[in-house]
Amino acid sequence: MIKDITIGQYFPGKSVLHRMDSRVKILLTAVFIVMLFMAKSIQALSVGILFTVVTFIISRIPLKMMGKSLKPIVPIVIFTAVLNLFFIRTGDVLWEWKIIKLTQDGVDTSLFMVIRIICLICGSSLLTYTTSPIELTDAIEKLLGPLKKIKVPVHELAMMMTIALRFIPTLIEETDKIINAQKARGADMETGGLIQKTKALIPILIPLFVASFRHAEELALAMECRCYHGGEGRTRMKQLKMTLTDLWGSLYCMVFLAGVIAVNILTK
């Protein structure tokens, strides 16, 4: 179900990850992505898998939530696996039929890419699961602060990114309501060919666009009523402060990054 999608949601908690500075978490997420793409072998990728599993356990996020976050990318994972499986023709031939050839390199690359994508989604999702939208806004604004010197509207960019992230669950819920309403009116969205299914989306997309514009107008009106004028002179209830937890978290991430580099060197 669409309502099971958890992208962009925040789950309050008291884990070490929840207590870390949001700026550090954003930077370490970038380091984690670099770590995964630096892995050149399945052995090096295993270090990234271990990092993802251990970090997930530390975050204390329910396992079912991570499963829900993977649902939207299942078609992408399958498509990527099929491409690598049948279009890589180097290595020992495992199975062949006419122009279709399945090779050992194709299987290895397909498995490697699927694991990498899953780790990427699971690890990156922990950023939004353990960081509130307000903290994300403040962290992005702080990190992009130096760009203000070249007249880049940093606060506006951070606010737009956070609002977009914040409204993902809202729009998902709105879509689910519209689908249920259309089904209650007798709409058939599951049978028929590709053209019929595409036409069935029209009664969903139009109300969804209307609802999106309505939410945007309500948000703009609420910000105007509260005399919102951007980041100039804005104060914050919670100040971002780095603690010893952030230092240990950074060292923990760097150890795994060094592990990936070491395994890459040893498996050349």
Pairing between strand 93-97 and 100-103? Answer: antiparallel
Report the C-alpha gap between 68 and 46 in whole angstroms: 23
Mapping DSSP to helix (H, G, I), strand (E, B) and coil, where does residue 94 land? strand
- Burial class (CB within 10 angstroms; exposed 0-12, middle 13-18, buried 19+) of 40: middle
Measured distance between the N- and C-terminal CA atoms of the chain, rounded to whole angstroms: 44
Spatial contact of 253 and 32, defined as CB atoms under 8 Å apart: yes
Write the DSSP string, 92-129: -EEEEETTEEEEHHHHHHHHHHHHHHHHHHHHHHHHHH
The residue segments making up the domain with residue 55 are: 2-266
Where in the chain does DSSP place strands (E)? 93-97, 100-103
Count the Cβ atoms, other than its own, within 10 Å of residue 258: 12
Q: What is the pLDDT of residue 1?
A: 47
Here the tokens at position 160 are 């737009």
Average pLDDT over residues 17-25: 91
Weakest-pLDDT range from 10-19, 31-40, 82-91? 82-91
- Kindly indicate the confidence band of residue 30, based on its pLDDT and cuts at 50, 70 and 90: very high
Please report, as a single letter, which amino acid is at residue 184. A
- Residue 57, classed as helix, strand or coil, is helix
- Weakest mean pLDDT among 27-41, 47-61, 154-168: 154-168
Please answer whether residues 39 and 265 qualify as being in contact, where contact means their C-beta atoms are separated by less than 8 angstroms: no
Q: What is the pTM of this model?
A: 0.76
Q: In the predicted model, what is the mean pLDDT of the chain?
A: 82
pLDDT of 233: 64
Question: What are the tens digits of pLDDT across the range 167-225?
Answer: 777 777 788 888 888 878 777 766 666 677 777 777 888 888 888 888 888 888 888 88
pLDDT of 46 higher than 90: yes
Percent of the chain with pLDDT over 70: 91
For the segment 100-127, what is each residue's pLDDT rounded down to a tens digit? 778 888 888 888 888 998 899 888 888 8
Evaluate whether 41 touches 264 at the Cβ level (below 8 Å). Answer: yes
Q: Structural domain tally of the chain?
A: 1
